[in-house]
A and B are shown apart, each in its own frame.
Chain A
């Protein structure tokens, strides 16, 4: 709905919010993220890891996958990609950035988000639909949800356990920077059941679960995930 009102505000049906999606070598969910952006009413813009060019987009998504094979450490190589040299300062200036799964790992390696993602508690890859609770609906990517709202989206990761030192965890809680939390058990051993966090400005969000896989009842467990992509339509300058 927010997408529709946004389009109406600009007086046309052509999408005018442009959301960049970075493809790294080994990115897998870039096509899914583009579809979610389209369904939310914005225009997906492909961005290439090797180019220092954000193509004047209004927001950026770092999609899921195994960038550079996740060799060395998840996200550790991707943070040095040329496109990141543009993205990090832009995020500092308030550009909305969403990292999903591997994207979250990259944002954490790039120090745009605190903490780190480590091996799941059970040491096995987990692909499962999970219930999430929206804890903070004031970020660029979650403002379309109600606080406390529960949604169902897929989780699929081998290294999805969120960890941070006690001081950071306390600060995240105190500042309300936990964006989503696992609502029905803790599938991977994440600290305090944290499934997603944001930076102090609320423009950079990292999510371990995959809202781009929950955009339609036909191909996902729900359409609950669309809200993240619709949210940024109102938050982005456009």
Chain B
């Protein structure tokens, strides 16, 4: 459904004129490589999880998928058509079909719009139906998003709602146009734990009911593991491991994926020694301006060998549906 092929995005870094004069570097344009040659696909009725640290390019990927950034290289195709080549009318249609849920439900709702108006807005913008028809659609969607009883919520304003209810309004607003692509950027990280499962549950069942392709972005692999069909692990703008949740969580091959999994705290008590440490990797991700030529994870990797300094590892399939980009892993 959504096909991402060799996608890259870099942003130019502007240098101040003064600095340029001093260093006599007028011509050399520097850029940040936020996303670097990634490929994956999302089918309908499927949740694809994108995991990684802050600043690894997850959100840039989402923006590229929604056609909000133009790719520097590579392509995103949607039902076989490349987004970059769409005509103006086609692009409008595409925008209708691609919707986004934000992380913070406290800031992504207009405080002066009632629930009804917030959910109705996409319909008004797209000139769908008349007033009474739109109300019908809004009520239908609210039932879908489990905002019940509908009558009680219709005329409420965001400040009267709890975090979970607000996120449900955001979800209702995103699905009111019956999109085929839904991007959820950390959709539950601001919510209380006791209601998270409910929201995730809703996303999962809506993906199935509406036959959407969903991209879920998070840094928490335990969460992705429990809702996704496929997971891609990103590091410094590249996908370093791709596979099913079982592959990624139970049989992680890339040292970075292993580190990510070890860093996730477990809600169980187990016997621990006096010197209990959560095993972790040190340091921080590389500077994306002075991009390392070889393996981008090498400086933090405890297994790094000579070959890791020379060559960039490619994403290779080691088992069916499970690919890893690491020199030390061979199928």
A binds B: no
